[in-house]
Amino acid sequence: MSKYLAALDQGTTSSRAVIFTETGELISSFNKEFPQHYPKPGWVEHDPHDILDSQISALREAVSLSGVNPADIAAIGITNQRETTFLWNRNTGECVGNAIVWQCRRTSQMVDQLVADGCSDMIREKTGLVPDAYFSGTKLKWLLDYYNLQEKAENGELCFGTVDSFLCWHMLEGRPHVTDATNACRTMLFNLHTQDWDDDLLKLLGIPRTCLPKVVDSSGLIGMLDPAILGRAIPVTAIAGDQHASLFGQACLKKGDIKNTYGTGCFMLMNTGDKPVMSQNGLLTTMAWRIGGKPTYALEGSVFMGGATIQWLRDELKIIDHAAETETLATSIPGTGGVYLVPAFTGLGAPWWDMYSRGTLIGMTRGTGRAHIARAALEAIAYQSADLMDAMAADCGKRPEMLQVDGGASANSFLMQFQADITAIPVVRPRVLETTALGAALLAGLGAGVYTSLEETAKGWQKDLEFTPRMDEATRKMNLRGWHKAVERAKDWARD
Ligand code: ADP
């Protein structure tokens, strides 16, 4: 009997592979970094060969470290950095140029034009997205224009895909040209309501349907791994974008369940059930996943400066050597003494959406020291996340009962306790913090029949610690008032 599940977690700076037991226990993981390319200011690219080679070697290494016989791997799931855009030749597999990474701003003007032409509402209604260069649609258009490939694309000679499509085409037998609904919904070409590529949007950007992948469920048989990779054809039975996989790995399976990932930025997703909720508060509407043809939707919001605020303390202010030191510093004092840091270094996102706000450190007195600033930085991560949660609750008309957390900075127990205090709901940290890989593995297990129901996958999730709110309501309100006052001071600063 096969008993293991493998996840390929293709990220922005590294490719990772993780081997789990069917009860969600992590057996081994291997991470392989690859170079980033910045050909011009604001441009970011990946060499497609690096992505493929690093992912294949991470898988081989993780399997070898685990000591598991590939014959005992029941299924493989793929999860990936979203929006990054590849275009390749359908016959040879050779890519047209490098992949354009989600962070790349080269199509900003194209998006400005769409907005000036009054297309924002249509894009929002159909895709759930706020038009931005971040999403794949304009990146694909750029590749077609720059390399003069419109005719070739129309003749079916080219394949477009995000990382998941690219990996499936190159790593699976029979080269399936597919993507799943969670990745498709980040292209700005996919209609959330019809669950298909949208002809109006394709026309708007001049993209021929012939180059687009088939949109499949997030869980279910996609194909067999090329036996040349592990010496055996293993079923590949799941695809999901990283944040969606993490929502699944956190067992946020019911409407109202919510998770926050504390990485460089923070990503909060809430399961909104079988209906898309169109946000009134500047959040994105997205897929949670699609299983058995049935879509589950989510609301998504992000904090630009999450763990990056801690990196700023370390690299620019140089008041810490390691991120983990902030916890000792923060707990060495009873409070920030009224100091607030609004890390609006690149503006503020949801729910404020003010690109003119700038970083603000306010409320200092003669006694303010590095511990206060470090604590204010951690609290700022929690305050920003609390604001996102309020926006989600307002859109859904209901506050969540608890918050599931993961990501590098969720290791900071002071931050997690403060998050519980300031949102007044319990914060729950799981045993396996690699929830993205775990989610892909669980989706794969479901797709391969290792689990017979959605609910059964939840046994792969196990609680480690629960942080219970301890702050009294008056203090909580006072702290939030101070934070929102500080946000007001940060707003609009950089406008001429
Ligand atoms: P990403 O996937 O975005 O690279 P990770 O999930 O690996 O991010 O988390 C790394 C981020 O978390 C960094 O920005 C780092 O500053 C922050 N971080 C890591 N450990 C801690 C900690 N103990 N306390 C606060 N922040 C931390």
208-250 tens-digit pLDDT: 999 999 999 999 999 999 999 999 999 999 999 999 999 999 9
Lowest-pLDDT range, 274-283, 289-298, 364-373?
274-283
For the Cβ of 411 lying below 6 angstroms from any atom of ligand 1, the answer is yes
CA separation for the pair 452, 473 (Å, rounded): 44
pLDDT digits over 81-127, tens only?
Answer: 999 999 999 999 999 999 999 888 888 889 889 999 999 999 999 99
CA separation for the pair 197, 215 (Å, rounded): 8
For the Cβ of 31 lying below 6 angstroms from any atom of ligand 1, the answer is no
pLDDT digits over 361-404, tens only?
Answer: 999 999 999 999 999 999 999 999 999 999 999 998 889 999 99
For the Cβ of 343 lying below 6 angstroms from any atom of ligand 1, the answer is no
pTM of the model: 0.92
pLDDT digits over 61-81, tens only?
Answer: 999 999 999 999 999 999 999
Residues in the chain: 496
Query: Which is nearest to 271 in space by CA: 263, 291, 220, 468?
Result: 291
Distance (Å) from CA 310 to ligand 1 centroid: 8
Query: Which is nearest to 178 in space by CA: 222, 227, 237, 234?
Result: 222
Residue 2 has pLDDT above 70, yes or no: no
For the Cβ of 81 lying below 6 angstroms from any atom of ligand 1, the answer is no
Distance (Å) from CA 306 to ligand 1 centroid: 8
Side chain identity at residue 216, one-letter code: V
Residue 1 has pLDDT above 70, yes or no: no
Residue 474 has pLDDT above 90, yes or no: yes
For the Cβ of 328 lying below 6 angstroms from any atom of ligand 1, the answer is no
For the Cβ of 324 lying below 6 angstroms from any atom of ligand 1, the answer is yes
Q: What are phi and psi of 464, to 5 degrees?
A: -105, -65
Distance (Å) from CA 409 to ligand 1 centroid: 4
* Mean pLDDT computed over 37-64: 94
| From 31, 262, 381, mutation site for ligand 1 pocket: most ligand atoms within 8 A of C-beta | 262
For the Cβ of 363 lying below 6 angstroms from any atom of ligand 1, the answer is no
Distance (Å) from CA 260 to ligand 1 centroid: 13
Distance (Å) from CA 312 to ligand 1 centroid: 12
For the Cβ of 409 lying below 6 angstroms from any atom of ligand 1, the answer is yes
pLDDT digits over 404-448, tens only?
Answer: 999 989 999 999 999 999 999 999 999 988 899 999 999 999 999
Q: Are 374 and 230 in contact (CB under 8 A)?
A: no
Map tokens 């910045």 to a residue.
Answer: 38
Map tokens 């999860």 to a residue.
Answer: 79
E strands in 11-80: 14-21, 26-33, 45-46, 73-80
* Mean pLDDT computed over 328-354: 92
**Exposed e or buried b per residue across 108-147, where buried means at least 16 C-beta atoms within 10 angstroms of its C-beta:** eebbeebeeeebeebbbebbbbbbbbbbbbbbbbbbbeee
Q: Give me the pLDDT at residue 345, please.
A: 87
Map tokens 């592990």 to a residue.
Answer: 230
For the Cβ of 264 lying below 6 angstroms from any atom of ligand 1, the answer is yes
Distance (Å) from CA 374 to ligand 1 centroid: 14
Distance (Å) from CA 95 to ligand 1 centroid: 33
Residue minimizing CA distance to atom 9 of ligand 1? 408
Which residues are CB-contacts of 308 (< 8 A; sequence separation ≥ 6)? 264, 265, 343
CA separation for the pair 309, 121 (Å, rounded): 33
E strands in 137-283: 158-161, 178-180, 190-191, 196-197, 214-216, 219-224, 235-241, 258-262, 266-273
Which residues are CB-contacts of 438 (< 8 A; sequence separation ≥ 6)? 7, 18, 20, 24, 26, 245, 249, 432, 460, 461
Task: Determine which helix (DSSP H) or strand (DSSP E) holds 479, and give its type and residue range.
Answer: helix 473-490
Distance (Å) from CA 81 to ligand 1 centroid: 17
For the Cβ of 326 lying below 6 angstroms from any atom of ligand 1, the answer is yes
For the Cβ of 263 lying below 6 angstroms from any atom of ligand 1, the answer is yes
Query: Which is nearest to 372 in space by CA: 326, 417, 413, 310?
Result: 326
The β-bridge relationship of strands 403-406 and 340-342 is unpaired
Q: 94 exposed, middle or buried (CB, 10 Å; 0-12, 13-18, 19+)? A: exposed
CA separation for the pair 269, 396 (Å, rounded): 13
Count CA atoms within 13 Å of residue 192 on its CB side: 27
Map tokens 């929830």 to a residue.
Answer: 435
> Who has greater pLDDT, 358 or 326?
326
